[in-house]
């Protein structure tokens, strides 16, 4: 990022139009967040707008789609409300950071896709809160419902990483970084919203990505990771 910020701004603006992630000149979303944060004392409104416009485009592409004439369907209503909440939340964090340096955008600058996935999940979760109360214990992929996950002592790490307390956010991130590799690998994939397993061969799953034969192996690593994170954060009775 240090070399990026010294490039001529016209080159940076031109590179924002590159969509191929494999291109040498492609600017990662984390870098765009970094560049925006560095406009804090800058009066170049045009440059800021170019950065902001591309950041919003990338956020939009990562959010649930709304299907126009079908927008009266419940899932599309949820999607529309979820998209608006994500944008509003991020805009609040951008404004907060631009007005006074802090840690509000740290997660987005380090792991943008994970941060947006976290915001998306928590936003959609709020919109579907009533529906979740009547959700079956397991869905079609045999994933336990959110209520069941919490009942057995797991964590909603997306919400934890978006805590309003910057010190607590750092503690959560450090707890994840300190996990043994096999456990951290599973948690990082969960944060990217990759399913543990699927009945469809075409779906990319954690089980496939880490190369284990048993779905139970993935769940055991996940549950051990949750236990270690809870212990690190002094949550519950896991104090060894």
User: Mind listing the pLDDT tens digit for each residue in 59-112?
Assistant: 888 776 654 444 444 445 556 666 777 888 888 888 888 888 788 788 888 888
Average pLDDT over residues 8-23: 91
- Write out the two tokens for 1: 């990022």
pLDDT bin (cut points 50, 70, 90) of residue 129 is low
Distance between CA atoms of residues 188 and 113, nearest Å: 11
Secondary structure class of 213 (helix, strand, coil): coil
* The pLDDT of residue 133 is above 80: no
138 φ, ψ (degrees, to nearest 5): -130, 145
pTM over 0.75: no
Average pLDDT over residues 211-228: 91
User: Mind listing the pLDDT tens digit for each residue in 35-73?
Assistant: 998 888 777 889 999 999 999 898 888 776 654 444 444
């Amino acid at each position: 990022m240090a070399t990026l910020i010294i490039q001529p701004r016209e080159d940076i603006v031109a590179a924002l139009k590159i969509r191929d992630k494999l291109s040498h000149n492609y600017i990662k979303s984390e870098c765009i967040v970094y560049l925006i944060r560095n406009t804090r004392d800058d009066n170049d409104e045009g440059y800021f707008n170019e950065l902001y416009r591309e950041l919003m485009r990338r956020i939009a592409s990562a959010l649930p789609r709304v299907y126009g004439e079908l927008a009266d369907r419940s899932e599309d209503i949820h999607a529309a409300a979820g998209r608006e909440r994500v944008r509003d939340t991020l805009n609040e964090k951008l404004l907060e950071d631009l007005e006074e340096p802090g840690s509000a955008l740290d997660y987005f600058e380090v792991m943008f896709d994970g941060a947006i996935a976290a915001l998306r999940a928590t936003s959609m979760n709020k919109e579907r809160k009533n529906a979740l109360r009547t959700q079956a214990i397991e869905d079609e992929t045999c994933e336990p419902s959110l209520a069941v996950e919490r009942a057995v002592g797991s964590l909603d790490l997306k919400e934890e990483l978006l805590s309003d307390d910057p010190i607590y956010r750092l503690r959560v991130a450090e707890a994840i970084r300190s996990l043994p590799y096999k456990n951290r690998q599973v948690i990082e994939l969960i944060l990217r919203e990759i399913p543990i397993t699927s009945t469809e061969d075409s779906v990319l799953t954690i089980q496939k990505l880490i190369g284990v034969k048993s779905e139970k192996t993935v769940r055991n690593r996940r549950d051990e990771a949750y236990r270690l994170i809870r212990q690190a954060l002094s949550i519950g009775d896991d104090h060894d």
